[in-house]
């Protein structure tokens, strides 16, 4: 998760809200995988 935050801009979430932020984290993880 730390690598995603540093390298892929997840330190600032694109969407506001826990559900939408969780979706963004999952989509980024899928894309990186």
Flag whether pLDDT at 33 surpasses 70.
yes
With beta carbons less than 8 A apart as the criterion, state whether 10 and 4 touch. Answer: yes
Q: What is the pLDDT of residue 32?
A: 76
The DSSP string of 7-33 is HSSTTS-SS-SHHHHHHHHHHHHHHH-
Which of the 8 DSSP states describes residue 1?
Answer: -
Question: For 4-30, what is each residue's pLDDT tens digit?
Answer: 666 556 666 665 667 777 787 788 888
């Amino acid at each position: 998760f730390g690598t995603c935050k540093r390298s892929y801009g997840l330190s600032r979430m694109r969407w506001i809200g826990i559900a939408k932020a969780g979706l963004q984290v999952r989509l980024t993880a899928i894309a990186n995988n």
